[in-house]
Amino acid sequence: MKPFSNILLAADSTWGGKPALRRAVRLARHHQSRLTVAGICETLHHETPVTGREGAPAHPGVIQLARDLETFVQPFRRSGIDINTRVLCGIPHVEIIRDVIQNRHDFVIISDQKKFGIKETLFGRPAEHLIGQCPCPVLVHRSTRTDRSRRILAALWPNPFDEENDALNAVIMNLAVTLARQENATLHVVRTWKFKDEGSLRGWEGLSWGQEAEILHTADASQRAWLESFLKGYPVNDLKLRTDVLHGEAAQLIPELAKQDKADLIVMGALHRSVLAEFFSVSTAQHVLSQVDCTVMTVLAKDVARVSTALETSVVDAASAPS
């Protein structure tokens, strides 16, 4: 079973996104997937006709973007990859999610160069909305220099001791292993943890510094034992693997570790976010995206069942294949 069978690339409107297209083409070739490259006319309503109706011509902006898309993908078609192009009109993240649902895409790639304007500062960038709302894994491609990842950081979900979080961590790990094997990359697996009400530890009556240190040491040992047991379920002997367990806030530790590692790609989970929730607060995944310059891949916690079986099959098949 293929983990990615129907890929959607949301093309950079300046066509600075060729590395993202090269990555999308390579993934499509590797997984024998369909690939659609979509351009977005933000200034037009989503009901704007893209092909014209009853003999009427399509909007000139749509016609020009469609031509630009064809020019953009043509060199890659010559290499034998079947690429469809599509013009979407409207709010970028809304139209991307609409297209994912209507056309059953199972993986989205979007180019994001971390540029901030007034509109992005006030309302957020499309990538930030996608990682909290898109019902399939999202890869936010950042590098304009390369389409490959040599150092991958897999950030496992905090508080793993329940079935839902375990399932999300399995998807994160399988995504990271799949990409590390495909890219021949170093894989760094990290577990961050903290107590829910850790700030109140020192407020416990009669708790000495030594007792607090013992509590933290015991909890850290438990997290390390969990990670060791978790990794036994994955065929990673052929990979260049590192592991870490870190105590603290994931939103702070993951960007710091990514910079230390000079990571090219972070793979992590995200919580589904309503529009209202996004307006008032920022999720861990959104914070990480805003703090790093590398590519980030996310999968929503509520959608792990969609990709779990396909990924597990893919990882086991790849590990057992003859080298």
What's the CATH code of the domain at 37?
3.40.50.620
17, 43: one domain? yes
5, 129: one domain? yes
Please tell me the distance from the alpha carbon of residue 316 to that of residue 313, in angstroms, as a whole number. 5
Q: Which two tokens stand for residue 198?
A: 């850790």
122, 167: one domain? no
Q: What percent of the chain has pLDDT over 70?
A: 74
Sign for the pseudo-dihedral over CA of 283, 286, 287, 288: positive
112, 248: one domain? no
230, 298: one domain? yes
140, 50: one domain? yes
171, 126: one domain? no
138, 153: one domain? no
Three-class DSSP category at 39 = strand
Please tell me the distance from the alpha carbon of residue 100 to that of residue 131, in angstroms, as a whole number. 13
From the list 174, 143, 181, the residue with the least C-alpha distance to 269 is 174
Report pLDDT for 2.
Answer: 64
Among 103, 123, 144, the domain-final residue is 144
Beta strand segments in the chain, E: 6-10, 34-41, 83-89, 107-111, 138-141, 151-156, 186-193, 240-247, 265-270, 295-300
Q: Which two tokens stand for residue 321?
A: 């294949």
From the list 194, 191, 183, 106, the residue with the least C-alpha distance to 154 is 191
Report pLDDT for 204.
Answer: 59
Report pLDDT for 245.
Answer: 96
167, 299: one domain? yes
Domain span including residue 322: 148-323
Average pLDDT over residues 152-174: 83
Report pLDDT for 282.
Answer: 57
60, 114: one domain? yes
129, 154: one domain? no
Burial status of residue 168 (CB atoms within 10 A of its CB: 0-12, 13-18, 19 or more): buried
Average pLDDT over residues 192-213: 71
Number of residues in the chain: 323
The yes-or-no verdict on residue 152 having pLDDT over 80 is yes
The yes-or-no verdict on residue 51 having pLDDT over 60 is no
Q: Give the total number of structural domains in the chain.
A: 2
Task: Answer yes or no: are the C-beta atoms of 76 and 19 closer than 8 Å.
Answer: no
Average pLDDT over residues 272-291: 66
Report pLDDT for 278.
Answer: 43
What element of type H or E holds 279?
A: helix 275-280
pTM: 0.84
Residue with tokens 């905090």: 158
How much is the mean pLDDT over the chain?
Answer: 80
Instruction: Please state the separation of Cα 286 from the chain's center in Å.
Output: 11
The yes-or-no verdict on residue 12 having pLDDT over 70 is no
Among 109, 144, 179, the domain-final residue is 144
**62 or 97: which leads in pLDDT:** 97
Q: Residue 91, Cβ neighbours under 10 Å: how many?
A: 17
Report pLDDT for 63.
Answer: 86
Among 35-44, 120-129, 226-235, 275-284, the range scoring the smallest mean pLDDT is: 275-284
Among 128, 144, 160, the domain-final residue is 144
From the list 166, 153, 323, 308, the residue with the least C-alpha distance to 238 is 323
Contacts with 156 (C-beta within 8 Å, 6 or more apart), sequence order: 169, 172, 173, 189, 190, 191, 192, 227, 230
The yes-or-no verdict on residue 313 having pLDDT over 80 is no
20, 94: one domain? yes
